[in-house]
Amino acid sequence: MSVLIRGVRRYGEGEPVDVLVEDGQIAAIGPGLTADERTDVLDAAGQVLLPGFVDLHTHLREPGREDTETIETGSAAAALGGFTAVFAMANTTPVADSPVVTDHVWQRGRQVGLVDVHPVGAVTVGLAGTQLTEMAMMANGAAKVRMFSDDGKCVHDPLIMRRALEYATGLGVLVAQHAEEPRLTVGAVAHEGPTAARLGLAGWPRAAEESIVARDALLARDAGARVHICHASTRGTVELLGWAKAQGIAITAEVTPHHLLLDDSRLQTYDGVNRVNPPLREASDAQALRQALADGVIDCVATDHAPHAEHEKCCEFSVARPGMLGLQTALSVVVETMVVPGLLTWRDVARVMSENPARIVGLTDQGRPLEVGEPANLTIVDPEASWTVDGSALASRSANTPYASMTLPATVTATLLRGRVTARDGRAQL
Ligand code: DOR
Ligand code: ZN
């Protein structure tokens, strides 16, 4: 099956061109390409062609909480959001701490076929923080696990983290840290600051994140290892990342769309939809995160898509589960916070949502240039469109979006995975 994309601008630059996709690859690029009657034509006049997005941080909840998301519904949300690869976090039930689970997730993702679902392996058995998993067995299994994280929990024991970095370095895989010193966040539900104090919510201090970022940068330095920081959320983390990178430490970091757009002033209503880990910080933190993403101190955007059931979110703030949906709204939030204010161009969007995450995790078939002979993992975006978010209309099995009723810029009009159209005009193509 071939696909002809008509009238698109690569990276939103230059003259419109036609892009012919055949056998899973970009076969031709040029003005006025022709196609036979069996070719699927996508009219993309005025639209932007980008490499398919790669999400290093997704919670798909399968196995164990299929009432909130499945690999199928999460894959549909990903394809609709413009993603061609997602990394599914290990905090499932059972935990993805052995090849039995990681290979199952990988195979189920292949069966669904909407997006490459790469399982993340746990760093410690059962996410308990005490015993390293058999990373090599997961790395060498069918899923070829290349990223390990206890996300949801921090690998807080410094000796365990040190050994994890050493072990991962030998295997050539990435450790991604959920930076949260647990002794500083006992009972915490909101960013520690004036808002939480006024609302009577227990605070999660910035230092809980920053102390782990600093420690892990030093551990990575001494181990000659790479470390990736999940969901950076404070201006202090930005300063530490800048410091560590300037020392030549192999540290990378992601920021979520919600930490770019939202801040703790949203907590006024005590609506559990705004509870997330790390918590929404202050406007000055969001500002620092935007600047860091623009400057390259933060390498990429990752969604931390975290579906939760209605009864787990529509309850008292302090018992609401932390987490928010993110896959279908990620691009629009990045456009709102970064492209509209002129902090990023469309080419930069390709860098922070596709090329950099692919590079960080070592995917060779994603985040590729938009050139003939490259794999056709592609996202087509209408930069002029806008849409109003409705949680119940999202493909996810859960509806916990903090953007409900917000009108956001830009829509993903189509996504292609190895040349197959996986989403089109707001519908996933199962
Ligand atoms: O808000 C969050 N939700 N942060 C995490 O680290 C885990 C995630 C989840 O699994 O729901
Ligand atoms: Zn996390």
Q: What are phi and psi of 29, to 5 degrees?
A: -135, 130
Mean pLDDT of the chain: 98
Contacts of 405 (CB under 8 A, 6+ apart): 388, 389, 390
| Mean pLDDT (whole number) for 25-42 | 95
Distance CA 339, CA 346 (A): 7
Distance CA 131, CA 26 (A): 45
> What's the confidence (pLDDT) of residue 253?
99
Which ligand 1 atom is nearest residue 153's CA?
6
> What's the confidence (pLDDT) of residue 52?
99
Ligand 1 site, residue 428, Cβ cutoff 6 A? no
Please write the tens of the pLDDT for every residue from 157-173.
Answer: 999 999 999 999 999 99
Percent over 70 (pLDDT), the chain: 100
Q: CA distances (Å), 201 to each of 100, 190, 210, 264, 274, in order?
A: 40, 6, 21, 11, 13
> Please, are residues 62 and 30 in contact by the beta-carbon 8 Å criterion?
no
- Residue 275 sits at the vertex; the CA angle it makes with 269 and 278, to the nearest 5 degrees, is 135
- CATH 2.30.40.10 boundaries in the chain: 3-48+374-428
> Please, are residues 372 and 345 in contact by the beta-carbon 8 Å criterion?
no
Q: Does residue 60 come out as left (phi exceeding 0), alpha (psi in the -120 to 50 range) or beta?
A: alpha
Q: Does domain 52-361 have CATH number 3.40.440.10?
A: no
Distance CA 47, CA 424 (A): 14
Please write the tens of the pLDDT for every residue from 183-194.
Answer: 999 999 999 999
| Mean pLDDT (whole number) for 15-24 | 98
If we measure between CA atoms, which residue out of 224, 278, 220 comes closest to residue 244? 220
Catalytic annotation on 425?
Answer: no
Which of 18, 304, 348, 382 is catalytic? The answer is: 304
Ligand 1 site, residue 323, Cβ cutoff 6 A? yes
> What's the confidence (pLDDT) of residue 1?
80
Please write the tens of the pLDDT for every residue from 371-427.
Answer: 999 999 999 999 999 999 999 999 999 999 999 999 999 999 999 999 999 999 999
Does 300 have pLDDT greater than 90?
A: yes
Going by the DSSP 8-state scheme, the letter that residue 93 receives in this structure is S
> Please, are residues 126 and 86 in contact by the beta-carbon 8 Å criterion?
no
Please write the tens of the pLDDT for every residue from 339-377.
Answer: 999 999 999 999 999 999 999 999 999 999 999 999 999
> What's the confidence (pLDDT) of residue 164?
98
Ligand 1 site, residue 151, Cβ cutoff 6 A? yes
Please write the tens of the pLDDT for every residue from 71-129.
Answer: 999 999 999 999 999 999 999 999 999 999 999 999 999 999 999 999 999 999 999 99
Contacts of 109 (CB under 8 A, 6+ apart): 71, 75, 88, 115, 116, 117, 118
> What's the confidence (pLDDT) of residue 197?
98
Most ligand 1 atoms within 8 A of CB, residue of 281, 304, 400 to mutate: 304
| Mean pLDDT (whole number) for 313-332 | 98
> Please, are residues 264 and 332 in contact by the beta-carbon 8 Å criterion?
no
Q: What are phi and psi of 124, to 5 degrees?
A: -120, 150
Q: Is 53 helix (H, G, I), strand (E, B) or coil?
A: strand
Question: Class assignment of domain 3-48+374-428?
Answer: mainly beta
Q: Please provide the DSSP assignment of 127-190 as one string.
A: G-SSSB--HHHHHTSTT---EE--TTS----HHHHHHHHHHHHHHT-EEEE----GGG-TT--E
Q: Is 345 helix (H, G, I), strand (E, B) or coil?
A: coil
How remote is the CA of residue 278 from the centroid of ligand 1, in Å?
8
Does 305 have pLDDT greater than 90?
A: yes
Q: CA distances (Å), 80 to each of 57, 99, 238, 248, in order?
A: 16, 29, 31, 37
Q: How far is CA 74 from the centre of its chain?
A: 12
User: Inter-axis angle of helices 71-80 and 99-112, to 10 degrees?
Assistant: 50
**Amino acid identity for residue 166 in this structure:** E
Ligand 1 site, residue 322, Cβ cutoff 6 A? yes
Q: CA distances (Å), 47 to each of 13, 42, 382, 384, 414, in order?
A: 10, 11, 5, 8, 10
